């Protein structure tokens, strides 16, 4: 994080260990330790985002940390229920994973998947972020949305106008060769009509409602669990490298 901040003028996200994703108390303690380490190296907390998985426990940890002035990035986010819970907790930023949502539906449809019918504006990852964007803007939610995990430039262009996008160097290179006009697909001013068309109503989420809605969304449930498992494996690999 310190090395990245030497070249990045904004913020750096530093992740709480994935194996703490279901432990609110331990996640808060780890986040405080991360902020303390940055502070010891002369980096103020306004340059850091604490990255937490969008589990119920991770969202509760973010709620505690935000009240302490520690901004959080809720990651592994695949559903509106997760997005609404994160917003209600006062999270600074969420990172919905566009490409991983699309991957799930593409695998599920198999030979029935069609880029013509399921790509572009109809891409399931794109439509998920659009729905969150319209919900947030309509209800005046300040939490920022940072689309992430893109598989192609079409997904990026379909989300032009989103608060933030995190884009790989490869896709940035592809975009740099695009000389055509780019339409602003997401506009806060159009959130009202978009919400009416999508039939979105306010969600009220306590713990049981959150868990039920997440459970009823097979894609979000599976991708969240898979993401935590993979992050845990990556952590173990990193620890092994550092030990040598």
Identified catalytic residue from 25, 36, 47, 51: 51
Q: What is the mean pLDDT of residues 56-70?
A: 98
223 is catalytic: no
Q: What is the mean pLDDT of residues 176-181?
A: 87
| Average pLDDT of every residue of the chain | 94
Q: What is the mean pLDDT of residues 97-108?
A: 97
Question: What is the DSSP track for the chain?
Answer: -TTGGGT-SS-EEEEPPGGGTT-HHHHHHHHHHHHHHHHHTT--GGGEEEEEESSHHHHHHHHHHHHTT--EEEEEE-SHHHHHHHHHTT-SEEEEBHHHHHHHHHHHHGGG--HHHHSGGG-HHHHHHHHHHHHHHHTT---EEEEB--SSHHHHHHTTTSSEE---HHHHHHHHT--S-------GGGHHHHHHHHT-------HHHHHHHHHH-HHHHHHHHHHHHHHHHHHHHHHHHHH-
Q: Encode pLDDT of 66-96 as tens digits.
A: 999 999 999 999 999 999 999 999 999 999 9
Check residues 181 and 44 and name the one with the higher pLDDT. 44
């Amino acid at each position: 994080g310190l090395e990245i901040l030497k070249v990045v003028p904004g913020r750096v996200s530093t992740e709480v260990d994935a194996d703490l994703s279901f432990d609110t108390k331990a996640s808060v303690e780890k986040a405080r330790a991360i902020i303390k380490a940055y502070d010891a190296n002369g980096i103020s907390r306004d340059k850091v985002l604490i990255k937490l998985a969008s589990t119920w426990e991770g969202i509760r940890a973010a709620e505690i940390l935000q009240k302490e002035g520690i901004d959080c990035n809720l990651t592994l986010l695949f559903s509106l229920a997760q997005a609404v819970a994160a917003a209600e907790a006062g999270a600074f930023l969420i990172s919905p994973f566009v490409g991983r949502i699309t991957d799930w539906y593409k695998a599920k449809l198999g030979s029935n998947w069609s880029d013509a019918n399921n790509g572009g504006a109809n891409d399931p990852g794109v439509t998920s972020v659009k729905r969150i964007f319209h919900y947030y803007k309509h209800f005046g939610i300040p939490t920022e949305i940072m689309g992430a995990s893109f598989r192609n430039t079409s997904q990026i262009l379909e989300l032009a106008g989103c608060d933030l996008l995190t884009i790989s160097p490869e896709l940035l290179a592809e975009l740099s060769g695009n000389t055509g006009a780019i339409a602003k697909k997401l506009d806060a001013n159009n959130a009202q009509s978009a919400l009416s068309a999508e039939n979105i109503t306010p969600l009220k989420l306590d713990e049981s409602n959150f868990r039920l809605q997440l459970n009823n969304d097979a894609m979000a449930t599976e991708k969240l669990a898979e993401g935590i498992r993979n992050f845990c494996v990556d952590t173990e690999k990193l620890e092994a490298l550092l030990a040598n």
